[in-house]
Amino acid sequence: MLGNFTYCNPTKLFFGKGALKEMRGELAKYGKNVLLVYGKGSVKRSGIYDEVVAMLKECGKEIYEDAGVMPNPTTEKLAEGCERARAANADLILAVGGGSVCDYAKAVSVSAYCGEDPWEKFFIRFEEPSGKIIPVGCVLTMVGTGSEMNGGSVITNHAQKLKIGHVFGEEVFPKFSVLDPEYTFTLPAYQMVAGFYDIMSHILEQYLSGTDDNTSDYIMEGLMRSLVHSSRIAVKNPLDYEARSNIMWTATWALNTLVAMGKDTDWEVHMLGQAVGAHTDATHGMTLAAVAPAYYRLIMPYGLHQFRRFAVNVWDVPTKGKTDEEIAEAGICAMEKWMKEIGLVMRLRDLGVTEDMLGGIAKSTLVMTGGYKVLTQEDIMQVLRESL
C-alpha cells in the first residue's frame, strides 16, 4: 500500500542544447550581486565559464568568485565560501559544475548567516536552517548526483573522518537549473562512468526497500533500463547526444525526490561509500560501486522478493527452473557484469583502501534503518572485507 506523503519540488529546469540562454529571465528575479561558484578550472578550459560570465555581465550583475571547489567539499572550504558570500553580500549563488559544486553552493547558502557552526547544526544534529538562506541556481556540467533538483548537500570533515549529507527542505532546493547535455561532453571517462553508477545507486537505494506494490518501483525499473542502455552507448561514444541527454534526464529523476514518495528507502550503500570517501577522498561513484555488490548480497535474503523483481524486470534474467535465490543472485551478477563493462572500480583496494583502514571506515559508517536489514558493526566489517 502506498503510504501518505506530501510532494513539492520548486526547482525550474531548462533542458537541452543552448539552454543557458533561458537563464536570463531567472537572473532578473535576483539582486545585483552574484557569487559564482565553480571547481578547479575545467569550466574555464571548456569555455562554459566564459559563456556564463558573459551572460551575467549582459544582465548587469556584479560577479564575485568562489573557485576551487573540490570533488568532496570540506568544512574548511565551506567556511571560506561563507566568508566570500557575506563579503559579496550575495543575492544569488550560481553553481557551475557537477554535483559537488551544487552541493557546496547549497551548504554555503544555508551556512553564510547560520550564526553557529554549520557542521554541528546541519551535518551532526541535522537541524533545518533558521537564518537567512541565499538563493541558489545551477549550471550543470556533470551528471550523477541529482543535486540540481534536490535539497541534498554532502560535506567532508577530514579531522573527524566523516562525510555526511543533509537533505534540506524545499526552501534550499535550487531555484533554477540549466541542463545542457553538451556541457557534459568534455568530462573525463573516469568521472563520467562514476556518475553513471551514482545514478544507479540512487535508484537502488530507493527501489530496494519496502514490500508493497508501489508505482515508484515501476518508474525506477524504467529509469534503470534506460540508464543501462544509454551508458553502453555513451562509453563507446561520449559525444552521442541522445545517450548523454537521456542519462542527464535520468540522473535528475533518480534523485529529485519523486520516486522516494511512499518508499522507506535504504541509503546504506551511500553511508558505506561516504565513509570510504572520508578516509580516501576517492571519487564518490566509485566508492559506491566498490561496496554495493557485497552489501546487496548480504541483505538479499531479507528482501528476496524485490531482488528477484530487480533481476527479472531490469536485467531480463530467465526464471525457468531457478529458485528465487538463484534468480536474485543472477540479477546481482548481471549488474556486476554491466559495471565491469563500463569501467567502474570494483574493489576498495583500487581506491587506496588497505586492510588496516577497515576498522576506521566501519566506525565512520552511519547506520540507516530504512533497508531490509539494519547493519551491525560486524555486518559493516564483513561488507568492507568482501569489497576490499
Q: Which of 183, 212, 233 is the last residue in one of the domains?
A: 183
- Per-residue pLDDT tens digits for 12-31: 999 999 999 999 999 999 99
Please tell me the distance from the alpha carbon of residue 255 to that of residue 42, in angstroms, as a whole number. 25
- Per-residue pLDDT tens digits for 368-378: 999 999 999 99
Predicted local confidence at residue 4, as pLDDT: 85
Q: Which of 159, 183, 207 is the last residue in one of the domains?
A: 183
Q: Give domain status of residue 309, yes or no.
A: yes
Q: Give domain status of residue 7, yes or no.
A: no
Question: 364 Cβ partners below 8 Å, 6+ apart?
Answer: 161, 162, 163, 275, 278, 279
My answer on whether 229 and 247 are in the same domain is: yes
My answer on whether 383 and 300 are in the same domain is: yes
Residue with cell 554491466: 338
Answering whether pTM is above 0.75, one says yes
Please tell me the distance from the alpha carbon of residue 385 to that of residue 50, in angstroms, as a whole number. 46
Helix (H) or strand (E) holding 241: helix 241-254
C-alpha closest to that of 227 among 211, 243, 206 = 243
Question: 257 Cβ partners below 8 Å, 6+ apart?
Answer: 7, 9, 150
Number of domains in the chain: 2
Q: Give domain status of residue 159, yes or no.
A: yes
Rg from Cα positions in the chain: 20
Please tell me the distance from the alpha carbon of residue 180 to that of residue 18, in angstroms, as a whole number. 7
Residue with cell 535528475: 252
Q: Give domain status of residue 34, yes or no.
A: yes
Summarize the confidence of residues 280-288 as an average pLDDT.
97
- Per-residue pLDDT tens digits for 152-198: 999 999 999 999 999 999 999 999 999 999 999 999 999 999 999 99
Does the pLDDT of residue 264 top 70, yes or no? yes
Does the pLDDT of residue 1 top 70, yes or no? no
- Cβ contact 66:36 at 8 Å: yes
Beta-sheet strands, E only, within 24-80? 33-38, 62-66
Task: Output the domain CATH number for residue 174.
Answer: 3.40.50.1970
My answer on whether 361 and 232 are in the same domain is: yes
My answer on whether 161 and 216 are in the same domain is: no
- Cβ contact 355:388 at 8 Å: yes
Q: Give domain status of residue 3, yes or no.
A: no
pLDDT band (50, 70, 90) for residue 266? very high
My answer on whether 155 and 21 are in the same domain is: yes
My answer on whether 252 and 116 are in the same domain is: no
What range does the domain containing 27 cover? 12-183
My answer on whether 243 and 383 are in the same domain is: yes
Q: Which of 152, 183, 214 is the last residue in one of the domains?
A: 183
As a dihedral over the C-alpha atoms of residue 36, residue 39, residue 44, residue 50, rounded to 10 degrees, the angle is -20
Identity of residue 267: W
My answer on whether 121 and 270 are in the same domain is: no
Supply the DSSP symbol for 10: -
Please tell me the distance from the alpha carbon of residue 158 to that of residue 74, in angstroms, as a whole number. 7
